[in-house]
Every structure is written in structure tokens, then in C-alpha cells.
Amino acid sequence: MTLKNINCLPLPKWVYDLLVMFGGLRKLEVVDMDNVGAGNVDSLVVFEDDYLKHRESLLNALKSKILNTLVIFNTHSFLFNDQVLAEIDRHSADLDIHIICQGHFAKKYNNVKVHHIELEEHFISHHFNLLLATKLQEMKNIEKTFLVQMVNKDEFRNTVISGITSSNLMNDIVLTVKKGPGVTKNLMDMHKSLMDYVKEEYKENPQIFPALDSFGGVCPNFSLYEKPFCEVVAETKNTGAYHLTEKTFRPIAFRVPIIFLGSKVMYDSLNEYGYTFYDNQFYKCWHDENISLVERVNKLVSFMQHIKEDETAKEQMQLSANSNFQVFWNQRKLYYYQNWNQIFDQICKGKDISRVVDSIYSRCNF
């Protein structure tokens, strides 16, 4: 039997490497749309931008059986609107379409095969970051209860920040709020400066670079984490389609307790992953969309006041943080590798696709 490779339209290098490394593929054969139209392609991987660019041609190739399997690599779940996803789902009733999605769409679909991955979680779980997390625990000298670090770029964050800063908690908060069009650029410039230093100073230890680069393009400020007990976390998107970012996984990886201000579906996803959070009836209120955001922020302030005053609450939060630390560095890391294997088991099933693990396993027979 002659084993085949999956084809792809040109992919970003990091996506190609990711699919080969974790998908267990020997390689991906790069083709263009002319190859697809000529019927020379059986299974095809496309990046999200290329799907949107060639969407009509790709769906026509599937419907005419020129193409049998389409895999869409989607790193921004909010890039595909409901119209695009509904169209994919409609065609998936009869066609073999897969979406490898970093994050979650705003609604569930019945037919398309969606495979969820958490890239930020995995990238941060680099062994050097575990060493940094261990060092942080040694350097901890708690002086305040809360850390709040946000870029004030929308009404949600503005309401949260206003509610917190107008409360009597301000003396117990390490607060870094940034606002303005140049904020992200300034942060990334500082990150680049550090990365340039690391590349030059630690040439013999290249693994440091991907570890520090895993935090969304901005290195963590460890001096901020040494003094507060817990962090108030607001994600990049807190409603609708979403993916969890370094904002959530950074404190979890550092064994820092958090108050998570994402939506209920985001909170439920974290629970499904095995992460738990001290509640005291706060999250039921926070997730109630019938209550105005201003009222929910008032509940947040009350919850924070409770944490500040109650040592038992702090103990429970730290126990959750300790458990989340173990889940992050052990269970979820194991799940990540198994999940990739299962994704490509489904994609490659019955297609005589060359898988590295099968080949190596069969050869380890002396």
C-alpha cells in the first residue's frame, strides 16, 4: 500500500510546523488552487484567510467530489461570522469538513466537525516558564490583596475599572491600567528589546526565547506579581466567540489565584478543563445577563471586599490556585498531545495518510 500525505495551500510556517509536529504527519504537500481544481488533491488543509479568499471554489470542489476532505485552521474564532459558519455547517451535512479552532464560536453547529485547541495554554506551558513560576513563588512578598492589569479599550473594561477604582479597595490593589492607541505598540517594543537581549546574551540556550515569547508578545512583569495575593482577570473578548489567552493562563501557570471576569460559557469551558475558582455565590450573579454590568461590578467589589477581609476565603482561593497549577502543568499538558493525535486520527481515518507514529512504531520491532 502506498501511503499519502495531506495537501495544503501555503500555510504560515508556525502552523505548518505545528501540524506536522503534533498532528503526527510526515509532511504536508504544498499545492495551489489550480491543483485543487484539476482534481489532484484528496485532502486539503487551508489557513483561515485562504478559506475566506477561496471559499466558493473550495466548497464547489467538495460538492463535485474533486476534493474529499477540507481542514480549516482557524486561530481567531471571531474571524468567521455566523453566515460563514452556517454555510460550512450546511455543507458539512454531506461533506467532510473539519475546523481546527483556537477557541470557541458564539454558538454550536450541528454538522461541521470542530476540533478545539488551546494554543496559548500550551505555549505558556514551556519548561522554562515553570522555572520562572517556581522563582516567583520564592520571591513572593504579599503586601496587597489584588492585582488589576488591563488595557482600558472598551466599555466593559471601563466599567470594571471605574467600579474598582471608586471603591474603598484602592489601597489594597496593585493597579496598572493603560489606555491610548500607542499602548500595545509600547508594550511590544519593550518585549522586543528584551528578546533582542536574550538572543544575544543566551545564544547557548535558545529555548528561553520561545518561553518568553509565549505570553502573547508581551513578557510578564514579575515585579507586579510578587506583591499581590490574587489577580482580577478580564479576557480579550468577554462575550460572543472567544479564545482564552495569556491573560487567563499566565496567573494559572504562576500559581496565582484569580477572579475570572469572562462570560459563563468561558467560565464553563475552564471548569471542563479542570480549573476551579473560589465562588461564594459571586459567579452566579456575574453571569446573570439580566443584571446590568454596573450592578455586576458592584457585586464584584463586594466579592473583592469579602476576599480582603476573610482569611478562609484566601485559603480556599489558594487551594484552587494550587489545584489549577497542577492541572495546567500536568493534566492539560497531557491532554494537549492526546487531543492533537485524536484530531488527526479522525481526519486521516480511512485515507491511507502517512502517520509518523505508525511508521516508527512498526520499525521498533527488533
Are 212 and 246 in contact by the 8 Å Cβ rule? The answer is no
Q: What is the mean pLDDT of residues 161-170?
A: 95
Per-residue model confidence as pLDDT tens digits over 277-298: 999 999 999 999 899 999 999 9
pLDDT at 166: 94
Residue 346 pLDDT level (bands cut at 50, 70, 90): very high
Question: Of 42, 47, 105, 109, whose CA–CA distance to 72 is shortest?
Answer: 47
Are 123 and 102 in contact by the 8 Å Cβ rule? The answer is no
194 compared with 321, residue with greater pLDDT: 321
The phi, psi pair for 139, rounded to 5°, reads -90, -5
Q: What is the mean pLDDT of residues 92-101?
A: 96
Q: Which alpha helices (DSSP H) does the chain contain, by range?
A: 13-23, 33-37, 48-63, 82-92, 119-124, 127-139, 155-165, 183-201, 208-212, 222-226, 246-253, 264-273, 282-286, 293-309, 311-326, 332-348, 356-363
What ranges do the domains of the chain cover?
Answer: 6-117+334-363, 122-309
First CA to last CA distance, the chain: 22
* Strands across the sheet containing 173-178: 173-178, 144-151, 228-233, 258-260
C-alpha cell at 178: 493603560
Per-residue model confidence as pLDDT tens digits over 226-237: 999 999 999 988
H or E stretch covering 101 = strand 96-102
- Does residue 165 carry a pLDDT above 90? yes
Are 126 and 211 in contact by the 8 Å Cβ rule? The answer is yes
Inter-CA distances, 36 with 23, 60, 352, Å = 22, 11, 19
How many CB atoms are closer than 10 A to CB 331? 13
Distance of CA 254 to the CA centre of its chain: 16
Per-residue model confidence as pLDDT tens digits over 190-209: 888 988 998 899 989 888 99
C-alpha cell at 98: 473539519
Per-residue model confidence as pLDDT tens digits over 212-271: 999 988 889 999 999 999 999 999 887 788 989 999 999 999 999 999 999 999 999 999
Residue 2 pLDDT level (bands cut at 50, 70, 90): low
Residue 1 pLDDT level (bands cut at 50, 70, 90): very low
Per-residue model confidence as pLDDT tens digits over 99-112: 999 999 988 999 99
pLDDT at 182: 66
**Alpha carbons 244 and 180: distance in angstroms, whole number:** 23
Residue 177 pLDDT level (bands cut at 50, 70, 90): confident
pLDDT at 180: 63
pLDDT at 163: 96
Find where cell 471542563 sits: 272
H or E stretch covering 96 = strand 96-102
- Mean pLDDT (the chain, rounded): 92
Are 340 and 22 in contact by the 8 Å Cβ rule? The answer is yes
**Alpha carbons 309 and 302: distance in angstroms, whole number:** 11
Question: Of 141, 136, 143, 44, whose CA–CA distance to 97 is shortest?
Answer: 44
Q: Could you give the angle at the alpha carbon of 265 between the alpha carbons of 260 and 337, nearest 5°? A: 85
Inter-CA distances, 88 with 62, 85, 91, 115, 345, Å = 11, 5, 5, 14, 21
Q: What is the mean pLDDT of residues 131-150?
A: 96
Decide: residue 281, CB within 10 A, 0-12 exposed, 13-18 middle, 19+ buried: exposed
Q: What is the mean pLDDT of residues 314-331?
A: 98
The phi, psi pair for 175, rounded to 5°, reads -115, 125
Inter-CA distances, 161 with 151, 152, 164, 177, Å = 10, 8, 5, 8
- Contact partners, residue 34, CB within 8 Å, separation at least 6: none
- Contact partners, residue 7, CB within 8 Å, separation at least 6: 28, 29, 30, 31, 35, 41, 42, 43, 44, 45
Q: What is the mean pLDDT of residues 346-366?
A: 88
